[in-house]
A = this chain, B = another copy of it.
Amino acid sequence: MIEIKTIEFARPLAGSAGNAVYAELKRQIVNLELPPGTPLSEKEVSVAFNVSRTPVRESFVRLAQEDLVLVLPQRGTRVSLIDPEMVLEAQFMREQLERAVVRLACRDFPEDLLAELNRNLALQKECVQRHDTRRMFELDEAFHRILFEGCRKLGTWSVIQQMNANLNRSRILWLSTDPQWTPLYEQHRDMYEAIVRRDEAKADRIMQEHLSLSIANLPVLQKKFPNYFK
């Protein structure tokens, strides 16, 4: 039996039912509330969300396109297992793109967003002290997002986000086991300073080290959660 929290239809329009189901399922999948391997059936989900099978099926199609679920014709649908190979490739892509962006940021970055980075850093510092893992994860994402925004590469960021669903799941796993945020905060801070000083080489180097941390212990995660990986 699957446990799926029903959607809040209180607000008159969170888009169509299909969108709502899609968004909620995706959220639960990347948060590992629906662990990899969980069987999903159109019917069960439809009764859980109190909609018909059509919008559920629609959401399955979209999730399948992002490799978040695996549809086996006439057999069933399951939350897809995390493919370590894909995690590594996603890491590769993200590294190349983020390094390029941070180099761009050193050449030109708007003042207001620079200030926003600074505010973000202050919040991060607080979270590190409070050990607020959840919030820190959000701030981390926001920090990188602002970098892309400042370089007018938000489309690139959204592509990364979409493609990185698998990488994100492993990152969620990671923070559930080893929440050492202090070095990450320091790297963010150093990156900020490098951008201010327009030191491309240094910013590039820090970003490289920074992102390599995310998957440093992928093998450890595989051994700790063998059922979640392919």
Contacts and interface: CB of A to CB of B under 8 A. Distances in A.
Interface residues of A, number: 23
Contacts of A177: none
Interface string A90-101: 101100110010
A66 to B, nearest CB: 8
Q: How many copies does the complex hold?
A: 2
Contacts of A96: 96-97, 100
Interface of A: 16, 18, 54, 57-58, 61-62, 65, 73, 85-86, 89-90, 92-93, 96-97, 100, 153, 155-156, 159, 163
Given A61-B62, A92-B100, A96-B96, 10 more contacts: A18-B61, A57-B58, A58-B61, A65-B65, A85-B155, A86-B155, A89-B153, A90-B155, A93-B159, A96-B97
